[in-house]
Chains A and B, each alone.
Chain A
Amino acid sequence: MQTVPFAPEQASSFAADVDALYGFLWALTIVIGTALTLLILYFAVKYRRRIEDEIPRPVRASHRLEAVWVGVPFVVAMGIFAWSADIYYRMYRPPAEAIDVYVVAKQWMWKFQHLDGHREINELHVPVGRKVKLTMTTEDVIHSLFVPAFRVKMDVVPGKYSTLWFEPTKAGRYHLFCAEYCGTSHSGMIGWIDVMEAPEYQAWLRGAAAGASLAAAGEQLFQQLACNTCHKSDGTGRGPSIQGVFGKPVQLGNGQKVDADEAYVRESITNPKAKVVSGYEAIMPTFQGQVSEEQLLQLIAYIRSLASVQGTTLQGGTAPAGQQTK
């Protein structure tokens, strides 16, 4: 696929598709613009006023013509809509096999955390040809993660997680920008995405100092904050066990069923009364303000690491012995 002029490199699986639509839109603009301009110039010359007092005869309207130039643009517009919606929809469906990276933005830097413990600031190393999914939040104001070479962008909003995914197709070093105005050093909140061929990436993994894996850090925090006193692994505590929970549906006390994803876990820590598991009391205290966004991600990583462990079932309402049911 030929790149369009004045465009960044095509470095992700989205780039060629986006450029193709963009190129088509410019072609359409140039064709229509030129045609209209030439027509107007032609009329402007041919029908210029020759006698000062002349008054032209009126021309009757033509409903057929109106129908044509309402109908044709509408159809073309719908075509463009469908084409672009397809690309957009794919951008919003991260594939299951994507590598997870967690991102915390703050004024004025990007903090990346790989699951294995590698932490990076303002720079992200990823292997070429592998799908990567970023789960992001911010500690303060709204920012927006933008990688022009990948043609991707997503806002990061305080109080919730947003996701963005891409598949780098070409090794190289690409700009990373913050694209939502966030204060003094908004234009300084920039960095690099380093896409590496597999051997170089392995070398980087070995070379870069990594802390404890995110999940290990999370496990430590889980004990430090005494979560394990209620969330016992055998399910006999005052709170539900967290084994085998992540990624599966959870039955709530009000009859609803929700998926235990990152957002659910984050909310359950910061606002426990919002979604109470069926069969349990709403007695968990909130940890809002006691854990940072990064620590929340560590806890999530830990709970996630237990996803495949066989746990006490949370479906249905039978509470462990000793608990009161509503």
Chain B
Amino acid sequence: MNIEVQEQPPRTHYLNATYGLKSWLLTKDHKRIALLYLASVTFFFALGGLFAVAIRVELLTPQGDMMQAETYNRVFTMHGVAMVFFFLIPAIPATLGNFLVPLMIGAKDLAFPKLNLLSWYIYNVGALLTLIAIVTGGVDTGWTFYTPYSTTYSNGNVLLSGVGIFITGFSSILTGLNFIVTIHTMRAPGLTWFRLPLFIWAHYAASLIMILGTPVVAITILLLAAERIAHVGIFDPALGGDPVLFQHLFWFYSHPAVYIMVLPAMGVISELIANMTRKNIFGYRFVAFSSLAIAVFGFLVWGHHMFVSTQSVYAGLVFSFLSYAVAVPSAVKVFNWTATLYKSSISYNTPMLYGFGFIGFFIIGGMTGLFLAALGVDVHVHDTYFVVAHFHYIMVGGTIMGYLGGLHFWWPKITGRMYPEGWARFAALVIFVGFNLTFFPQFLLGYMGMPRRYYAYPEEFQVLNVMSSAGASILGIGYVIPLIYFAWSMRYGPRASANPWGAFGLEWRTSSPPPPENFKETPIVTWEAYEFRPRHEAEVIDITRH
């Protein structure tokens, strides 16, 4: 393909085609809905971040001196609930996914635009209920809601927050459903499956998880709520019920849920690397299939959260084995991304920096997953800060890096403006340093024995905790900077052309910002994925023989 030349930004596009609150709140345009979601998830990111600040400040000292234990327990629960259900799960799919899926496949919108808008409203209803639960006292069960504490012993707003999460789950289901149908039925002529951007493959796989996993947690929360109301239920040992059944049902969703969080980020990284290096992702089909493999295997490993839960030792062996199996496709992606760099043309702008950052964090996060899947080690580190460090490396070091990288990469397409590159690189660096300082010490704290969800801890853990809190303050600054310059750029940033990066993909063949109907004419695809140069010009280099 030819790199697009600078052209005049359009006069009318999806942002200014219609005016007024109603035109936004009743929009059916997937691009506007993506921005509505952007506002919602940013709010919850900030809220979850505030709770994180409170946690890290309290943990500066071994004693519980900043707030009461009850309060701390509510704070870490709300941090988890806000971040997991209201930020991480929807962030990339509902903002970048909603915006880009139709554009990337040459369609005018998603298959069900009204369901798309409905999903945003459903999200907000659930969010509102949960916010009410938070401000009227909060919940203190941990975001995992284990029984019988949550059904019988907690004094928090378990019911209200449970119902809120239940409702928001349907938003996730509708989004996934929309993506699956859209990708199957609305691809532009010539756009076969193996010509699709890897972002689409990743979102397709994540959508499979969304529609298959979320209903299970929905019914689990419903049963939990029923038990809380009626004081009898299927998790109640007094009736012969099994509290561990809750854990099985909960983790059956919540493990695949982490792949809902990370697969879209991996899709973003594939786009960033391909476009910032101007090369097809090495082993494209392997990367595409690895997304599907992760989705499938991800449903088979939930018991690795329960190695010491009193589940049988044989269950433990099976789940550990399968957990190692699911690590392989993730490793495949990292190797293929690295191989893509070979003989490429790498630009160092901000999206690429986030891409590099993701790979670095994901290596550590992924390898420490091997520690946790190792039964003998997990017995020691389960429910300690080692686990906390591992999942933050993946979810923050992985998902959020992917999210920010994607926001930067597609910002000119979404807003028609460029962000300031210097500040953006600086913020990326601050985030990288702050993140490592925050979370690496937690691996060490965990192995030393510091349990998670501890409000006060033995003195010997203080030094590492102070390091972690110091890192958190740096990380916080790193997150605030983009907030400022993104807002600034919407008014003062230089206007962007249709394809300021010289990137591949259908979304770059329409104006920045795009018109409401996305394309003036439906594109007809005659090229392969990321075919910056014709395939027949490929070097037949056998890398194994170097």
Chain A interface residues toward B at CB < 8 A:
4, 6-8, 14, 17-18, 21-22, 25, 28-29, 32-33, 36-37, 39-40, 43-44, 47-50, 53-62, 64-66, 68-70, 73-74, 77-78, 80-81, 83-89, 91-92, 107, 140-142, 144, 146, 148-149, 151-155, 157-160, 162, 175, 177-188, 190, 271, 288
Contact = CB atoms under 8 A, between A and B. Distances in A.
A8 B449 contact: yes
Interface hub of A60, A83, A151, A187 (most chain B Cβ within 10 A): A187
B382 A153 contact: yes
Contacts of B317: 85, 88-89
B456 interface: yes
B360 A37 contact: yes
A84 B347 CA distance: 43
A92 B376 CA distance: 10
Interface of B: 3, 64, 69-70, 73, 140-142, 146-149, 152-154, 237-238, 240-244, 277-280, 282-286, 307-310, 313, 316-317, 320-321, 324-325, 327-328, 331-332, 334-336, 338-339, 341-348, 356, 359-360, 363-364, 367-368, 370-371, 373-380, 382-384, 444, 447-449, 451-458, 502, 531-533, 535, 537-544
Given A36-B338, A47-B343, A91 B379 contact: yes
13 contacts: A36-B359, A37-B363, A44-B348, A49-B347, A58-B280, A58-B533, A62-B543, A74-B325, A78-B324, A87-B376, A144-B383, A175-B449, A187-B454
Contact of A158 (B237, B348, B376): B237
Contacts of A185: 69
Given A88-B379, A146-B449, A175-B458, 4 more contacts: A22-B377, A43-B342, A47-B344, A77-B370
Contacts of A40: 338, 341, 356, 359
A78 B538 CA distance: 36
B346 A44 contact: yes
- Decide if the interface of chain A is mainly helix, strand, loop or mixed: mixed
Contact of B73 (A6, A177, A183): A183
A159 B310 CA distance: 12
Contacts of A160: 237, 310
B328 A73 contact: yes
A313 to B, nearest CB: 30
Contacts, number: 292
Contact of A57 (B343, B346, B382): B343
A271 B240 contact: yes
Interface hub of A37, A151, A184 (most chain B Cβ within 10 A): A184
Contact of B153 (A154, A183, A190): A183
B406 to A, nearest CB: 20
Contacts of B359: 36, 40
Given A25-B374, A187-B456, A60 B541 contact: yes
Nearest to A72: B331
B484 to A, nearest CB: 28
B328 A183 contact: no
